Structure 1
Amino acid sequence: MSKVHQLRGSLVEARRELRTRGVEVDSDSRFNLDSDDGFKFIPRPAGSGSNYVEPPTPAPSPIASFHVLDSWISRFDIDGESVGGQVDLSTDERITWLMDAIGGVKGNRILELGPLEGAHTKMLCEAGASSVIAIEGSRASWLHCLVVKEIFELSQARFLYGDFNHYVDQYQGPPFDAVLACAVLYHQLDPVSLISGLSRLTNTVLVWTSLADDGFPKPAMEVEVSGYRGRKMNYHEDRNLIQNYCGGVDQEAVWLYHDELLRCFADNGLSRIESKPIERPDWGGAPHILFAASR
């Protein structure tokens, strides 16, 4: 996902460049992350006089089904052909490392938060998970997930549309063997409540997330949530500029500092931490961490 984050970091500069050329970027204009050159400007849509013509219906095939939806972020291989976006998440080393950290997921019941387009779900199913409930808050991404489920026959997976915070709060069923929370904590307005909720329904949480530090998020706005320190992030600019925005359902979020994040997990009984070192992207992005927290 580093490429996605890097491209997002270029959007402000791209908007300024367009304006210097006399191109107005307003609320009806977007950038698309899955173009060949990284991102492309999409001006406001044409009016009612558009000459759009529905393309001819192709012969049935998995690739034809895949092309029903556009604006993909994830790249998939189908019958030797690469389709979709620019980011290969179907062989994501983060997910491989997390699964290895807990001895694999064969036979496990997994709850996945924010599956995006189902690439990580596909990895979990192919690794032997007995069931995966994946909850996606973006309507477009949820539809992409359904296409991926059908094409790759992910019979163990069930994709639900909505805010997973409500699901976690109201869940009364049997515990999950693990929860995958990859690239979701730093999109939460109240990550502390989410972590507390997850500790009620599993003994293991698999995490990849960005962290607050002296340089991120910008501008600096120190906050405290239920006794845990962090910094507030505003996603307003991303939501307005990126056509296929794939963040959380809230405009604002709280990023916790590293020690505060791990303390929050420990305070909720998930104190056994197997972690990779904090990484700082060479392109200047926010620090992030990959870890498994268990009881």
Structure 2
Amino acid sequence: MSTPWCTGGGATDCGPRGENQDAYLSAGRVHIVADGMGGHVGGAAAAQAVIEAFRPLAGAPVATPADVKAAVERARSLVADVSHQAGGEAGATLSGAVAVEHDGEPWWMVINVGDSRVYALEGGALRQVTVDHSHVQELVDAGRITPAEAESHPDRNLVTRAIGDSWPGFDGWLVRARPGLRLVVASDGLMKVIADARIASIAALAGTADAAAQRLVAAALEAGTTDNVTVVVADTLHAQTPRDASPAPWTAWGEDALDDDDTTVSGRARVDA
């Protein structure tokens, strides 16, 4: 199943842990990863609930940014059901991209809640689109530690946002669907042990999206990841050239974006439900 202009593939492994609390969907329009919160009751069920919330969009003939927002809201409702059934708090991260149409043109809508990530790979250059919802990212933003120090900080596993907490929003970006653009979506089991430069090299050299995802998971296992590891890779095939072919790769999406001129920005756009 695929849209006329994109395709993808994914891979996952529990690593050294007894249970895989990651889940992914790479089909049609939807290419997402959910990482169940290890300290929560029902983490695996929460991650799967997030995936099920987005499954109807995978085969949809058309999808819009508003449809993606509705899927996030549906995910929160389903995870709340998991918490109720489990008798405790359940949660999961959500990161990925959905192929949408906006203003008559194809775009990727990148979304994020938590510390899984979405990268854009184009022309051999890898850039992180999402911004981690984590304690160490807040320290970086405040200038208290450097990005390099964040990689080994003892609190790097503390997530500040999740599907299942009281925050109703998510971060969203519209990314131009240019031919040759490859998106890499990964749970933190990959980034804990594989540097961005290595992610770029593996993803660039792999032929298909599915092969890239499998090789990145294998690299994390070989590097000794201590966590579940899941990777989804999505490729842009033959999307039409946008009317505004400016080099800036992504645009923040928010409540007013559908009426704006899609001005490119460098920061996140938080969407409140």
Q: For this structure pair, what is the TM-score category when the shorter chain's length is used for normalisation?
A: under 0.3
TM (norm. structure 1) is: 0.25
Q: Whose Rg is larger?
A: 1
Higher relative contact order (CA 8 A, sep 6+): 2
